[in-house]
Amino acid sequence: MAKKKYRRSRSNSILDRKIGIKPGHLYVPTEAFVPRFFLMSFSEAMFEEQEFETYAQLLKRFKELPDARHWIDIRGYGDLQIQEQLVKDFKIHPLQMEDVINDYQRPKVDEYEDGLFMITRMLRWSEEQHSVEDVQLSVFSNANYVVTLQSDYADCLDPLRERIRAGRGVIRQRPPIYIVYAILDVVLDYYFPVIAEIGKYVDELEHSILKSSSKITLQHILDLKNELVKLRRIAWPERDKLVELLRMEEDVLPENLKVYFRDAYDHTIQLIDLIDSHKEMASSLVDLYMSTVSNRMNEIMKVLTIISSIFIPLSFIAGIYGMNFARENPETGEVYPYSMPELYQPYAYPILISLMLLLILLQLYFFYRKGWFTKSF
Amino acid sequence: MAKKKYRRSRSNSILDRKIGIKPGHLYVPTEAFVPRFFLMSFSEAMFEEQEFETYAQLLKRFKELPDARHWIDIRGYGDLQIQEQLVKDFKIHPLQMEDVINDYQRPKVDEYEDGLFMITRMLRWSEEQHSVEDVQLSVFSNANYVVTLQSDYADCLDPLRERIRAGRGVIRQRPPIYIVYAILDVVLDYYFPVIAEIGKYVDELEHSILKSSSKITLQHILDLKNELVKLRRIAWPERDKLVELLRMEEDVLPENLKVYFRDAYDHTIQLIDLIDSHKEMASSLVDLYMSTVSNRMNEIMKVLTIISSIFIPLSFIAGIYGMNFARENPETGEVYPYSMPELYQPYAYPILISLMLLLILLQLYFFYRKGWFTKSF
Amino acid sequence: MAKKKYRRSRSNSILDRKIGIKPGHLYVPTEAFVPRFFLMSFSEAMFEEQEFETYAQLLKRFKELPDARHWIDIRGYGDLQIQEQLVKDFKIHPLQMEDVINDYQRPKVDEYEDGLFMITRMLRWSEEQHSVEDVQLSVFSNANYVVTLQSDYADCLDPLRERIRAGRGVIRQRPPIYIVYAILDVVLDYYFPVIAEIGKYVDELEHSILKSSSKITLQHILDLKNELVKLRRIAWPERDKLVELLRMEEDVLPENLKVYFRDAYDHTIQLIDLIDSHKEMASSLVDLYMSTVSNRMNEIMKVLTIISSIFIPLSFIAGIYGMNFARENPETGEVYPYSMPELYQPYAYPILISLMLLLILLQLYFFYRKGWFTKSF
Amino acid sequence: MAKKKYRRSRSNSILDRKIGIKPGHLYVPTEAFVPRFFLMSFSEAMFEEQEFETYAQLLKRFKELPDARHWIDIRGYGDLQIQEQLVKDFKIHPLQMEDVINDYQRPKVDEYEDGLFMITRMLRWSEEQHSVEDVQLSVFSNANYVVTLQSDYADCLDPLRERIRAGRGVIRQRPPIYIVYAILDVVLDYYFPVIAEIGKYVDELEHSILKSSSKITLQHILDLKNELVKLRRIAWPERDKLVELLRMEEDVLPENLKVYFRDAYDHTIQLIDLIDSHKEMASSLVDLYMSTVSNRMNEIMKVLTIISSIFIPLSFIAGIYGMNFARENPETGEVYPYSMPELYQPYAYPILISLMLLLILLQLYFFYRKGWFTKSF
Amino acid sequence: MAKKKYRRSRSNSILDRKIGIKPGHLYVPTEAFVPRFFLMSFSEAMFEEQEFETYAQLLKRFKELPDARHWIDIRGYGDLQIQEQLVKDFKIHPLQMEDVINDYQRPKVDEYEDGLFMITRMLRWSEEQHSVEDVQLSVFSNANYVVTLQSDYADCLDPLRERIRAGRGVIRQRPPIYIVYAILDVVLDYYFPVIAEIGKYVDELEHSILKSSSKITLQHILDLKNELVKLRRIAWPERDKLVELLRMEEDVLPENLKVYFRDAYDHTIQLIDLIDSHKEMASSLVDLYMSTVSNRMNEIMKVLTIISSIFIPLSFIAGIYGMNFARENPETGEVYPYSMPELYQPYAYPILISLMLLLILLQLYFFYRKGWFTKSF
């Protein structure tokens, strides 16, 4: 069972949707993984973590612990029955389940069974492709449990799982909404290194342009801009989501936890700030690229002009003395003294060569004064 | 009766309106189709679907089934009397009927007889013309019926009709407003493949620019941008329409159905996101195109400069030795030893040729070092 | 009495205002027309239309018909006394009267004597100057009458007058506010053909650019953009005006007439949409123009480079064999066998010519392969 | 005592502020004028206008007329004691007094002692420098008096003073807030001629660009753009100020005077409209300038290409016949019939010259057909 | 203990955050300073200022003076225990403490223990690097004390400390919130000289571009733009912070102090205005740079074209008379009178030279008339 890769940048999954199917229709996406089932149950007194073979086993164990809080973590959408079970067992609205599977949804938050349904996107920077890969994480939460659903086996939540296992801080005492915050916090934490990577890549591109290395072309810059547009398309709804969360009622989001969500909100604002700055930088790179192209053209033209300006007039002079005006009339033998008399002077040739050298030097000086020998870029 | 095509991009129908006519004036648009009449009647118990010869027959059957819910589906605006009948029988405001016929209206929703009047636009991508074709669909809905009006016989609603026929899901149990949602859902579903096609076309254009195939010009990119501007002009009011729908009273839009309209709203937001991204990509293509033009100019200049820089100086040297400075005074026979002595050396010629070859090699090396032989694009 | 033209695009009338004069000061604008007085009086029972010689006559007739509704239509601002009379007789605020005369005012609506004061702008496209001409129409309306004031004798309201004369529809039964709507409707109806003309002109410009006909320059495009900026400056406040109208109290704007104003509002939204689209198209034309300039430069450079690359090296070769290296020492008669031996081969000349032709063919093939013979635009 | 000039465009006064001084600290700005004191007192019954030697005299006379309304007009900030007196006598907040002296403040309105404190900016167009000069006017007003403070002796308020002296209109009967309006009206009236001047300058620049007169460079356009940015920076807060004024309570701004302020508000909206239009025009000029540079390059390249394309091939042909291929073997006397036989035809030379002329004509025709002889701009 | 520098422009500290750590986790940043402890205590009666060796000493003295107001000033984050103590002693929320240390936070204000928590950023212009350096200042304030925290030993608050020491003004009588204002005022005061420096740098860059000195490249302009983007990213939240402060309740921000914060708010608005103007100026510089590149290209092309246009045709003429058309048949001795008869005219050579000079003069006049000798930039 090959490990599915994080999705490539211009994911068309949203564009592949089947048309006219019943809203809330469930289906198995192509290349979906066989689902795996994880359950973390904890209360102030106990902690238990397990992977189950089947969904039924998980559900059974979940029901055996009515007083604990649970994190049900299902990875892979490869089984239609599981989807239908989830809809039934956790009272998920079919439209929401469809959003989960659809696998390209803007980050958003919705009401769900006295709790909330949240879609967030996990990011990763692909060093080779210089692109942002993102994968969707769907979260249902309630007074008793958090259900997370994702298409992939690997995710970025391991540091959080570690924290729960270690029982550090207050994480096991707080209600499941705090887990939702913790998930959001970890996910957003991963956005910053992505932007840091983009910053490094911008510097790299700038350096390449200035070195006018031919390997870097405008296309790389434009691809980067598209990545930033995409990032912005993800970060804005993350912010909107947090605005909506912060407006939620006391019973969904207790007042004493709002400070955490406000902190996450501050992070999304910083994110958008940083993305916008990087977008402006990328736009500047386009200007920079265009100006190097123009400057290189200037360099080429200078070479051409210097060479031509020096040698074309000299060639003309040489051409003059290559003319065959007759010194004397071949028939009458009459001498024409005004016919190219220079040719018959003993020192004419060395004098002419010297004058030509002088002319070359004068022109070089003229071009030097115009600053044409200093590289303009 | 020729099948009318989906309208071309820069439809001027809105701009052809007659001036100063009475508001709410009804008329038969040029090239309008002879109307066809379809009726779908259904309740939890029954289902019936029929095409009628005349409007009167449809109306009769419609009135015979007072307890069923109906979808009256009239295609073609070619008969003024039908329009007037509709205004009278269904209590449509003449201004609304004018909007229906006018055939270019922004998507919008209005109040109508304890129900609503909605204009939506169906899209199709024309592969040959690389343009978006759109046709207007007008919907009147009420507690008992849905009336749809369109200029064309063909539309994109067949998947929905199939679903009603098949009786799948809850579609026959729900009030007509659910049909309105279903229509909107199908229509919006068709927007995504259009954007997917645009995405493919963007890739194609990018590829063509990079191959500098001369067949693709800036004009194609600008036409695409105009198509995206047009799409945006359609998608934004679709979103506004949904905002307005979601704000409607309980009696028009029951609370339990709002989740569906909210889902459609999410789709329009995604649509606008995607359109904006594609617009930014198209703008990037303009930059890319401009830079390839500049790069091609650089290539041309390099060829010119290399050739000129190599051969103009050499021509000058050859010109020097083509001069006719006399070796001896033709009259006195006096020999001028400084007059082009090189010409009288036994190995001067092969030496000169060798020097010239060396000069060529040196210049080639110089240009190679400057990187002029690597393609800059 | 020469007919005054619709005002030219960059009307400076607003910029010619006298400084420091008393607010609400009335004056006769330069080149103002002698006023003409029209009165239309109508009720459900009667209809009467007349042009009067003097304002006094009009006022007399107006007062004789207290039960009818009136449209007082005064054209030309050439008489200061009339202005003062109007202010007095119709209780117009002097500041409003100043706005009427001032002749460049943004479209707006204000309160006026239990009624409203509205400024709207009539548009016309000038085919010769490719510019939008606009003239201001001021409307005072009340439960009993509508007063319209304009600087010009001709206007675009004749279709409306015809409708009142013909008594078509409900126009004679409705209150004067309906006349206000009808005026607005006719005025806005004239905006669409103006935009249609602009659309045609955009197509024409695009065609000219692509044909690289030298008659069309960037200046035309920029002038068009300025016209669109101006149109937008007119259309936006028209929209704002309607927003304000729709918010007005029941006593000014009866609820049952709001549907008409909402329809006009929809038209202004469509207008702004269309203006913005055309502005984006005009901006695209600038890009297109710039790219044709660059492409034409490329064409020129290609010609130069092809000619130079072919003939400069050949000239050099010809130059080589034009050198005068001596075959033998003129003094000693010693033969130099390495001194240009090619010159002394019997078939050297035809071989050289053949080689040169071959070189030409090779270069042409090289340039053909580079695609330099296909027109890049 | 030299007359201080209106301030130059990029005034740095705001940027010269001392750091860390106590907020509300008063000081004498560098180059400040010795203050002059003017008092205008008037009621319906009386009118009196006087310049006083000292502030004490002014204050004395002001207190002697408790029933009149006053306009206290102090010009020049050169005396710290006066500032402190004003703060004390008129209960001005030190922070407000600091704003007055600071001399670069955005236009704004603040509350002040049952009245208002307003900062407005007077404009003047400098013909020589093509820049906008602005000077700050501070106004304190109250039920009894208006205090105006400015750094300069000259201002633009003389038309208003004339009106008060002449007693025209209602100006002497109204409360001081009406004087505030009148001041604002006069100040805003001066904005329009400034914009008219900018409009003329835009036309002038456009004309210069099209004539490609070398005197006008991009720098002039960019300077103009900066002036417009500056104007916008002044006009926007003027508008905001009026919005705030219109929201003020009945006791500060009586309802019956609001129509005047609304009129001033309309003027600021028009101003911003006009500034934005002119900014778009200035941006268009940048495009126009860039395109003339490109077009001029095209012109230059055309000259080069036409000359080179005609004469380089001809030179090559001449070079061919300048080659020295031997007609006979100098040693054996053997004749080489294929060695440049053209040279030995009696009419070869005139034929060749004719062919060359024909080639020139053909090329000229070719370039003519390509449209290279019509000026592209 | 080396003095840490103000942070460089593209600080990545925010991007270096550890992922998945517990929210509110405290840590010692890399290169953090050993903390120093300052306490200023004052009331209307007393004043005391001291630096303490340890935090415990400071706390002890702080507690000994319960009636005074205090400014606790801690510089350097190098000790984790101090952080934990502060959290405990001053009831700081761990998330807020994390924000303090994190060292890149947007300016913001938050609630804190009946007081407020504010983050502000101190600026400095680096002359050498032409960049803005900023360092974060965190302020906790309450009815009794102000706690400031910063990473660096040096700051810009010394003028304020001087004022407190001197006891000037009301600073010692007012509640600590006034100290917060005073801090904000000093910090914002430092923004203006930074913008003044940027203004000077813009002028400098403009001058360099116009002198086309090759030392200044587009990169400098783009770096400057990035600095302005960064400044804007700091100034906007400063403004938002003040908006939020002004909305605070009476108990946090007494009504009589609001005038001060409103003044600070006005300053931030001016700041943003100025930053935006400078950004527009920097954008103009890009245009200016691009146009100088194009103009310089024009200059180069003109030189090339003038030289080529003059000498290429002349070379051709010289080439003509360098051809070897035989005057007589070498075999038969037959004379060819049409074969280059010009060569056998006695004055042909001086006539030709004169004609050539005339041609040169004509061309120079032609280029002079075209204006090619006036520098276009």
Which of A289, A304, A347 has the CB atom closest to B309's CB atom? A304
| Inter-chain touch E327–A323, beta carbons under 8 Å | no
The single residue listed with the structure tokens 């008969």 is B79
Which of A221, A287, A335 to mutate: most E Cβ within 10 Å? A287
How many Å lie between the alpha carbon of D284 and the closest alpha carbon of chain C? 6
Which of B199, B305, B375 has the CB atom closest to A300's CB atom? B305
Task: Taking residues E304-311, report their average pLDDT.
Answer: 94
Residue type, A88: K
List of chain D residues whose C-beta atoms are within 8 Å of the C-beta of residue E283: none
List Cα–Cα distances, E37 to E73, E101, E177, in angstroms: 6, 16, 21
List of chain D residues whose C-beta atoms are within 8 Å of the C-beta of residue C304: 301, 304-305, 308-309
CA dist., res. A137 & res. A108, Å (int)? 11
Which of C91, C293, C325 to mutate: most D Cβ within 10 Å? C293
Nearest chain B residue to A302 by CA distance is B305
Which value, in Å, is the radius of gyration of the alpha carbons in chain E? Answer: 37
Q: Which residues does residue A42 pair with via DSSP β-bridges, in sequence order?
A: A47, A69
Which of D159, D312, D324 has the CB atom closest to C321's CB atom? D324
**Per-residue confidence (pLDDT) for residue C102, from 0 to 100:** 79
Which of A277, A284, A330 has the CB atom closest to E327's CB atom? A330
Give tens-digit pLDDT for E207-253: 888 876 655 678 889 999 999 999 999 999 999 999 999 988 888 88
Reference D275, options D236, D248, D332, D311; nearest CA is D236
Domains of chain A by start residue, with CATH: 1-171 (3.30.460.20), 190-298 (1.20.58.340), 299-376 (no CATH)
Angle, helices A218-246/A258-320, rounded to nearest 10 degrees: 160
| Inter-chain touch D106–E324, beta carbons under 8 Å | no
**Per-residue confidence (pLDDT) for residue C370, from 0 to 100:** 84
Strands (E), chain C: 36-42, 47-52, 69-75, 108-112, 115-126, 131-141, 145-150
Confidence band of C216 (pLDDT split at 50, 70, 90): low
| Inter-chain touch B294–A294, beta carbons under 8 Å | yes
Specify the pairing of strand E36-42 against strand E47-52. Answer: antiparallel
CA dist., res. C244 & res. A232, Å (int)? 36
A-E CB pairs within 8 A amount to 178
How many Å lie between the alpha carbon of D49 and the closest alpha carbon of chain C? 19
Backbone φ and ψ for D9, nearest 5 degrees, come out as -45, -70
- The DSSP-derived string for E278-318 is HHHHHHHHHHHHHHHHHHHHHHHHHHHHHHHHHHHHHHHHH
Residue type, E352: L
| Inter-chain touch A106–B263, beta carbons under 8 Å | no
What's the distance, CA C269 to chain centroid? Answer: 18
Which of B19, B225, B300 has the CB atom closest to C302's CB atom? B300
Longest alpha-carbon distance in chain D:
133
How many Å lie between the alpha carbon of A314 and the closest alpha carbon of chain E? 9
SS3 state of residue E377: coil
CA dist., res. A4 & res. A151, Å (int)? 9
Residues of chain B with pLDDT > 90, as a percent, come to: 49
Sequence-distant (6+) residues with CB within 8 A of A176 are: A69, A70, A71, A115, A141, A142, A143, A144, A145, A146
Backbone φ and ψ for B192, nearest 5 degrees, come out as -65, -45
D-E CB pairs within 8 A amount to 177
Which of E134, E293, E305, E352 to mutate: most A Cβ within 10 Å? E293
Query: Which residues of chain B, if any, have pLDDT below 50?
Result: 1-12, 377
Q: At CB < 8 A and 24+ separation, what contacts does C318-321 make?
A: C318/D316, C318/D319, C318/D320, C318/D322, C318/D323, C319/B314, C319/B315, C319/B318, C319/B319, C319/B322, C319/D319, C319/D322, C320/B318, C320/B353, C321/C352, C321/D323, C321/D324, C321/D325
| Inter-chain touch A309–E303, beta carbons under 8 Å | yes
CA distance from start to end of chain C: 54
List Cα–Cα distances, B352 to A356, B59, C312, D119, in angstroms: 19, 104, 19, 84
Chains that touch A (3 or more CB pairs under 8 A): B, E
**Per-residue confidence (pLDDT) for residue D213, from 0 to 100:** 61
Longest alpha-carbon distance in chain C:
132
List of chain B residues whose C-beta atoms are within 8 Å of the C-beta of residue C158: 20
Which token pair is C364? Answer: 């042409």
Nearest chain D residue to C229 by CA distance is D277
Which of D106, D291, D300 to mutate: most E Cβ within 10 Å? D300
List of chain A residues whose C-beta atoms are within 8 Å of the C-beta of residue E327: 330
List of chain A residues whose C-beta atoms are within 8 Å of the C-beta of residue E23: 181-182, 185, 260, 263
pLDDT along chain D (377 residues), means of 10: 36 55 78 91 89 94 92 92 91 89 84 88 90 92 92 88 82 88 92 92 89 72 92 92 89 87 91 92 90 87 93 93 86 85 90 95 92 70
Which token pair is C48? Answer: 């009467």
CA dist., res. C40 & res. C71, Å (int)? 5
Does residue C103 have a pLDDT over 70?
no
List Cα–Cα distances, B345 to B79, B173, C334, D329, in angstroms: 104, 111, 11, 20
Mark residue E6 as left, alpha or beta (left: phi above 0; alpha: psi -120 to 50; beta: remaining). beta
Nearest chain C residue to D189 by CA distance is C19
- The DSSP-derived string for E136-163 is EEEEEE-SSEEEEEESSS--S-HHHHHH
Residue pair B292/B210 in contact (Cβ under 8 Å)? The answer is yes
Average pLDDT, chain E: 86
| Inter-chain touch D222–E287, beta carbons under 8 Å | yes
The single residue listed with the structure tokens 């029901």 is A63
| Inter-chain touch A319–E324, beta carbons under 8 Å | no
pLDDT along chain A (377 residues), means of 10: 36 55 78 91 89 94 92 92 92 89 84 88 90 92 92 89 82 88 92 92 89 72 92 92 89 87 92 92 90 88 93 94 87 85 90 95 92 70
Entry pTM: 0.84
Residue pair A131/A229 in contact (Cβ under 8 Å)? The answer is no
CA dist., res. A191 & res. A194, Å (int)? 5
How many Å lie between the alpha carbon of B27 and the closest alpha carbon of chain A? 34
Burial A10-39 (b: 16+ CB within 10 A, else e): bbeebbebebbbbbbebeeeeebbebebbb
CA dist., res. C171 & res. C163, Å (int)? 8
Does residue C215 have a pLDDT over 80?
no
CA dist., res. A21 & res. B160, Å (int)? 8
A-B CB pairs within 8 A amount to 177
What's the distance, CA E163 to chain centroid? Answer: 30
Residue type, A64: E
Question: DSSP alpha helices (H): ranges in chain B?
Answer: 55-64, 80-89, 94-102, 158-166, 176-189, 191-210, 218-246, 258-320, 348-369
Which token pair is B170? Answer: 């809850």
Angle, helices A258-320/A191-210, rounded to nearest 10 degrees: 10
Chains that touch B (3 or more CB pairs under 8 A): A, C
Does residue C9 have a pLDDT over 50?
no
CA dist., res. A77 & res. A55, Å (int)? 12
How many Å lie between the alpha carbon of B297 and the closest alpha carbon of chain C? 6
Q: Strand order in A108-112's β-sheet?
A: A47-52, A36-42, A69-75, A145-150, A131-141, A115-126, A108-112
Per-residue H/E/C for B17-34? CCCCCCCCCCCCCCCCCC
SS3 state of residue C148: strand
| Inter-chain touch E210–D229, beta carbons under 8 Å | no
Chains that touch E (3 or more CB pairs under 8 A): A, D
Specify the pairing of strand A145-150 against strand D145-150. Answer: unpaired
Element housing D36 (H / E): strand D36-42
How many Å lie between the alpha carbon of C291 and the closest alpha carbon of chain B? 7
List of chain A residues whose C-beta atoms are within 8 Å of the C-beta of residue B309: 303-304, 307
List of chain E residues whose C-beta atoms are within 8 Å of the C-beta of residue D104: 270
Q: Which residues does residue E116 pair with via DSSP β-bridges, in sequence order?
A: E111, E141
Q: CB-side exposure of E222: number of CA atoms within 13 Å?
A: 23
Which of D210, D273, D375 has the CB atom closest to C219's CB atom? D210
List of chain D residues whose C-beta atoms are within 8 Å of the C-beta of residue C99: 263, 266
Give tens-digit pLDDT for B50-109: 999 999 999 999 999 988 999 999 999 988 899 999 999 999 988 899 889 886 788 999
Confidence band of E335 (pLDDT split at 50, 70, 90): confident
